[in-house]
Structure 1
Amino acid sequence: MPGPAHPRMAPVAENASVTQLELFFDLVIVFAFTMVTDFAAHETTAVNLLRALLILAMLWWAWIGYSWLGNVVKADEGIGRVAMFVAMGAVFLIALTIPESFHDLPGGWYGPLVFVIAYLVVRFVHLSVFWLASAHDAQLRRQVIRWAAGSLSVASVLLVTGALAHTTLQLGLWLAALVWDMGWTFFAGNEWRLYSASHFAERYGLIVIIALGESIVSIGVGVAGLPISWSIAVGSLLGLAVAGLLWWAYFDVAALVVEHAMHEAGGERRIQIARNCYTFWHFPMIAGIVAMALGLKKVLSYVGGAQGHSLSDELHGIPLFALYGGVIAYLVALAGFRHYATGKVLVPRLVASVLLLASIPVATNLPALAALGVLCAVLLAVIVFEVVRYAQPRDLIRHGQL
């Protein structure tokens, strides 16, 4: 296995696990996800929701670079460790600047430009370490040059220009930068290195767990300072159950099957599974969790009687679409995740997505707590069906007999 030739870099072993420093980095990223949820909740309009989704996608795109880098260079050794801490600081500044990423607040630095500069620091630190790691690896060096030449060069100009523009133009330029960045990465080739499939799969599994944990935090935030009551207890437990069922949907079988497929694949096919299943299909999962967190936060504030709401109030508009749409995006992304790696379609997940979509008009006329109950019931039904219907193959997969 070729490894980084730089004396202050350590290559990643095939049986490597996620380091504690990578987990620390991920916690900072998820703090930024939390700030995105707050940003979306502050102004529940379609435009603001699009802004929040764009910021979340930029954070995701910054994070995935370090998931690939951490599979080539040990994150907690030498230059890798220094790079992680520098990137961590920049991500923290991004998170703090999210509230004024589109509307600069009076006093202090110009928020949108600080946001972009911090984001570009994260990206260029990642590129610099990859450049050093590829010093004696001609294939990886070609891939890094090809990717950086078309991706960061164009995206950087669009991002900086957007930060200095007015709001509508800013949104358009930042969106164009992200679409270009993602598109170029998809078509820039398959000559990346992936030394440890288990490390890579574990890293993405952990970010899903931490993001689900953020949704639990949203439940607590929604009822913070309110006296405990039966409605708050039931709503909180239903929210926890929804998060737990989403955990089950990912980790019970799907994550194991795709990780196995990536282990078995070689050459370009392994890179394609890593890129498409994890880098791309995981984003709708994370976006779905963040959207669901926004919906849960609103539900719990309703059932707790915050801001003049009552238990009989309906959840409608963007909070309802965030709650149901987030879960739908998660389920569809899980289906795509598994289908690309194995060719199998998770029909029950897609049926559940259609049922949830069809339930939105009904949920609009239900009290918020009842709408959450319907969501939980559909998820529970699909999980129970899969456990019973696919009992034998599930048992074989979970006990390592693929």
Structure 2
Amino acid sequence: MLAWALVARLLPAWFVERVDPVPDEDELPVSTLELFFDLIFVFVIAQFTAIIAHDPLMGLLQAALMFGVLWWMFAGYSWLTNVIPPHRPARRVLLLCAMAGWLLIGLTVPAAFHGGNVWLAVGFLVVVLVHGLMYLQATRAFGPVFAANLAAAAAVFGAELVSDGLWRYLLWGLAAAIVWSVPIWHGQRGLHLHPAHITERHGLVVLVVLGESVVAIGIGARALPIDADLLVAAILGLAVCACLWWSLFVHDLPATEHVLASTKDPVRRVRKVLAGLSYAFVPVLMGILVLAAGIEHAIGHATAPLDFASSLLLSGGTAVFLLGTAGLRLAMPLRGPWRRVALAAAVLAVAPLGLVNTALQLGAIVVVLGAGLALERRGLRPAPAPQPSE
């Protein structure tokens, strides 16, 4: 902390502003700047989808390693604006600087495992520095986390500077291991989160990424004739995305906000956010990326069979998303986590249908999801009040 005190004396006064008084939990709306910030993530996500669509096997491994690191930092900005709302001009400027760092990351992600690109590491370092220096204004308990994020940035620099492919994979894996080990050795004391804001911010990120699935429909439709092959696949792809939205936003996220608001101990609340919104949202978001890559392959081929990899992307991405929602339910806890595991297994079971016909597999996924969500809705209804006996 001595180093931070020295930095605070050297930096201009506008940077080290005093933190505003903590507002009530229901008085922290998500700002338009935060929405703007989330939209930058769309570009990064689009790059991951393209990587997976180009090479389903190695692309998925590369996307998973990079996403594991980048999601930690992106979720960290949800925490940052939760404790330091961007109400002052200086904070807004700093967040805009962080957005420039994210833009650098998005532009250079495709080259990360193909020759390397040091500008990706530079963008990541900018993101880490802005996040850490701003967060330290709110609590000194963030100091060890900042140090871990800087260590991860060093690993990313190493990954983008080495020439050997295997070392690149190992160093990206090391960066992911560093950041995701933080909750194990950090006690989470001194960190405070507002339930409504943190839930809404994570939900907005999922909405943004679901939008990427719709973008994948447009990408796959470029230069294709407007016929049944295009329209049927596009509509069924949208129906799958709509079912995923329903599975998370109609019940689970409102219930999550209620559980977090009911958890008065700040340490327990932070741990629930970590488990339910940070850890569990890795498969939620990766599932959407994998599904989007599958939809990109399916567009324009509704009446034709898919190859095995593409059919697995469609069912596998949906199933991974459902497993992530099961993790959210376990972490809060909410009712019915094992129903989501069973629903994920049912979605995987229809994957071979894609080898026969693309529309058949997409339609089967929609039917399975619709039936599963309908059964869940019946199970979540409150029991009718007993009638008085005559």
TM-score (norm 2): 0.89
Show the counterpart of 1:25. 37
Show the counterpart of 1:370. 360
Q: Are the aligned partners of 2:191 and 2:267 in contact in 1 as well (CA < 8 Å)?
A: no
Partner SS for 1:71:
helix
Aligned match of 1:325 in 312, 316, 332?
316
Show the counterpart of 1:35. 47
> How big is the shift at 1:380?
0.9
Distance 1:8 1:366 in 2: 63
Show the counterpart of 2:249. 251
Show the counterpart of 1:194. 192
Distance 1:76 1:363 in 2: 52
Show the counterpart of 2:80. 69
> How big is the shift at 1:6?
4.9
5+ residue gaps, structure 2 = 1-14, 386-390
Work out whether 1:53 is the aligned partner of 2:54. Answer: no
Q: Summarize the Cα distance change of 1:287–1:338 in structure 2 as closer, same or farther, 3 Å threshold.
A: same
Distance 1:271 1:90 in 2: 27
Show the counterpart of 1:173. 171
Alignment of 1:386-397 (within 5 A): 386-392=376-382
Alignment of 1:326-345 (within 5 A): 326-342=317-333, 344-345=335-336
Matched length: 367
Q: Summarize the Cα distance change of 1:366–1:217 in structure 2 as closer, same or farther, 3 Å threshold.
A: same
Show the counterpart of 1:103. 114
Q: Are the aligned partners of 1:12 and 1:196 in contact in 2 as well (CA < 8 Å)?
A: no
Q: Summarize the Cα distance change of 1:12–1:74 in structure 2 as closer, same or farther, 3 Å threshold.
A: farther
Q: Are the aligned partners of 1:11 and 1:74 in contact in 2 as well (CA < 8 Å)?
A: no
> How big is the shift at 1:17?
1.0
Work out whether 1:121 is the aligned partner of 2:133. Answer: no
Q: Summarize the Cα distance change of 1:357–1:382 in structure 2 as closer, same or farther, 3 Å threshold.
A: same
Show the counterpart of 1:347. 338
> How big is the shift at 1:299?
0.6
One-letter amino acid of the structure 1 residue matched with residue 107 of structure 2: L
Q: Are the aligned partners of 1:12 and 1:71 in contact in 2 as well (CA < 8 Å)?
A: no
Show the counterpart of 2:10. none
Show the counterpart of 1:278. 277
User: Relative to structure 2, which stretch is displaced further, 181-190 or 288-297?
Assistant: 181-190
Partner SS for 2:304:
coil
> How big is the shift at 1:48?
2.3
Q: Summarize the Cα distance change of 1:289–1:23 in structure 2 as closer, same or farther, 3 Å threshold.
A: same
Show the counterpart of 1:10. 20
Distance 1:184 1:276 in 2: 13
> How big is the shift at 1:28?
0.3
Partner SS for 1:191:
coil
TM-score (norm 1): 0.86
Q: Are the aligned partners of 2:117 and 2:161 in contact in 1 as well (CA < 8 Å)?
A: yes
Partner SS for 1:392:
coil
Partner SS for 1:190:
coil
Show the counterpart of 1:287. 286
> How big is the shift at 1:273?
1.1
One-letter amino acid of the structure 1 residue matched with residue 280 of structure 2: W
Q: Summarize the Cα distance change of 1:370–1:226 in structure 2 as closer, same or farther, 3 Å threshold.
A: same
Show the counterpart of 1:80. 91
Alignment of 1:143-292 (within 5 A): 143-149=141-147, 151-165=148-162, 166-266=164-264, 267-292=266-291
Superposition RMSD on alpha carbons, in Å? 2.1
Q: Are the aligned partners of 1:53 and 1:287 in contact in 2 as well (CA < 8 Å)?
A: yes
Q: Are the aligned partners of 2:128 and 2:150 in contact in 1 as well (CA < 8 Å)?
A: no
Distance 2:64 2:332 in 1: 26
Cα deviation digits, residues 105-164 of structure 1 (max 9, x gap): xxxxxx521111111110111001112x13xxxxx31x2122233x12432332222212
Q: Are the aligned partners of 1:10 and 1:78 in contact in 2 as well (CA < 8 Å)?
A: no
One-letter amino acid of the structure 2 residue matched with residue 40 of structure 1: I
Distance 1:9 1:82 in 2: 16
Distance 2:256 2:373 in 1: 19
> How big is the shift at 1:216?
0.8
Alignment of 1:307-322 (within 5 A): 311-317=303-309, 319-322=310-313
Q: Are the aligned partners of 2:52 and 2:293 in contact in 1 as well (CA < 8 Å)?
A: yes
One-letter amino acid of the structure 1 residue matched with residue 132 of structure 2: L
Large movers: runs of 4+ above 4 Å:
none
Show the counterpart of 1:137. none
Q: Are the aligned partners of 2:53 and 2:59 in contact in 1 as well (CA < 8 Å)?
A: no
Cα deviation digits, residues 211-250 of structure 1 (max 9, x gap): 1111011111111222211232221111111111111100
Distance 2:142 2:97 in 1: 21
Distance 1:245 1:52 in 2: 24
Distance 1:93 1:76 in 2: 25
